[in-house]
Amino acid sequence: MKKKLFVLFLGLLVFLNANAQTKPNVIFIIVDDLGYNDVGFMGSKYYETPFLDNLSSKSTIFSRAYAACQVCSPSRASILSGSYPSTHGVTDWIGASSGIEWRKQNKFTKVLPPQYSKQLDLEFTTIPELLKQNNYATFFAGKWHLGNKGFYPTDQGFDINIAGSHKGHPSSYFSPYGMENITNGPNGENLDMRLAIETSKFIEKNKDQPFFAFLSFYAVHSPIQTTKDKWTYFRDKSEKQGINENGFAMERILPARIKQDNPIYAGLVSSMDDAVGVVLEALKKNNLDKSTIIIFTSDNGGVVSGDNFSTNLLPLRGGKGYQWEGGIRVPMFIYMPGGKAQKINTPVIGMDFLPTILELTNTKAKPSQKVDGVSLLPLLNQKKISKRSLFWHYPHYGNQGGEPSSIIQMENFKLIHYWEDGRNELYDLDKDLGEQNNIAKNYQTKEKKMWNNLNNWLQETNAKLPEIDKEHIAEKEEIHKNKVKTEVWANQEKNRKNMLKKDFQPNINWWGSQID
């Protein structure tokens, strides 16, 4: 074992030393709303991701990787800036209501979410801005959702922007897309594949200089769409695995999917993986597979409630928007040419990407730049990083059922503070990964210490807090919740059964994927 570790260390050292002069290329692949175990290499027996599975088998897999937030815009801003959401100010998905405007949602909640920044402000230095100073060509394709014009990818350090805008999801996954910064392809062209082809063109054009490509799939965000062939394949697979009579169970606010059995979503996951295969082939074709680092992750948990109620993440509780592990734990691996497979159980978080990429590319941060993450290079090299607490601050209501809350994680313990009533939940993740047993009353000393640490961090980062809604009417809130429980649950059960019927047809041309 020691000999193998030494060989791996030596290989990594040779790679880094060699590339101190030649500079490794970096491809960052992020999937929108992809859940922790929505991929084969993290244990899914339903979704199929052969290209990702093969690449991960030669990579460092991080089994306790976390997004910086349970929704997209804050996580993406944290990846690019290396800062916590409470630092850069983007604490909700851009476009969400807040303050008094929140009342217009007619959800009759106890608190009003605070105002938040509607863009990643230009004062925050991003990964591509720093790499450009190190003579890297930079490229962005896909979902941006970090501000309107003036705050687009080309305003934040990217030389090229394909399809990035203020939009958080596409109008269609098949051309015509009806989106900014991308021309429509032939009718029926797949958006995932188009983004992969554009990335491949950039790779070939810049094969003789160091480059940073940020491939940001709109998949697997709603609207979930796929081809008839892929739906048929996964619908038949659902039948072989056994179709349950009921597909949902009530979570605290919304019903949640209880099994991975959605053939439309499975087809969307599969198309994303096919697109990754195209990029990998481009690297191989241009002899760059031995000099390119590939990072893969998601921006938040998978959607078990809300949106299209697409997936299930058991044994994790909840999903996108939620304060539990399903909302913040994500799939992640880093591929290093010449490296060997390993799995790391150390908790890591989205802000760690910036310092990691800078160290891997021998790039310096600005002296005045505040970076909340740490480099993961020691973990890639079989060493350790210092123990630390991780924090989350989401003072908003998730469309998927999440509640305004803040979180601190210290080693295996996780404390969630709820802003509606000030209560705390405490979980031992080593013993209770599904967060079913709140042990706060049994560990009052630890609960108090963790809450004090969390509260101090919130004050240090000037985190904005929700305010009690003085016009809150408890009876109306209860009526709304009961309506959700009955109507939404029934509708989702109906939708699920419909998409699993043998004669299912969403429309005449399968969302535009079939062209006469």
Beta strands at 413-418 and 424-428: parallel, antiparallel or unpaired: antiparallel
Distance, in Å, from the CA atom of 136 to the CA atom of 512, rounded to the nearest integer, reads 38
Residue 293 and residue 360 in contact, taking contact as beta carbons nearer than 8 Å: yes
What is the pTM (predicted TM-score) of this model? 0.94
Residue 272, class by beta-carbon neighbours within 10 Å (0-12 exposed, 13-18 middle, 19+ buried)?
buried
In the chain, which residues have pLDDT < 70? 1-21, 516
Query: What are the angstrom distances between the C-alpha of 410 and each of 16, 79, 132, 189, 355?
Result: 32, 21, 36, 46, 22
Residue-level pLDDT at 338: 84
Alpha-helical segments (H) within 164-218? 191-205
Residue-level pLDDT at 12: 54
Residue-level pLDDT at 341: 87
Residue 215 and residue 283 in contact, taking contact as beta carbons nearer than 8 Å: no
- Mention every residue, 6+ apart, whose C-beta is less than 8 A from residue 319: 35, 256, 301, 302, 303, 304, 305, 311, 313, 326, 327, 400
Cβ atoms within 10 A of the Cβ of 256, count? Answer: 29
- Give the rounded percent of residues in the chain with a pLDDT score beyond 90: 91
3-state secondary structure of 17: helix
Residue 397 and residue 107 in contact, taking contact as beta carbons nearer than 8 Å: yes
Alpha-helical segments (H) within 57-115? 72-81, 85-88
Residue-level pLDDT at 389: 98
Distance, in Å, from the CA atom of 387 to the CA atom of 110, rounded to the nearest integer, reads 36
pLDDT digits (tens, 9 = 90+) for 118-151: 999 999 999 999 999 999 999 999 999 999 999 9
Distance, in Å, from the CA atom of 50 to the CA atom of 481, rounded to the nearest integer, reads 41
Residue-level pLDDT at 339: 76
Residue-level pLDDT at 7: 46
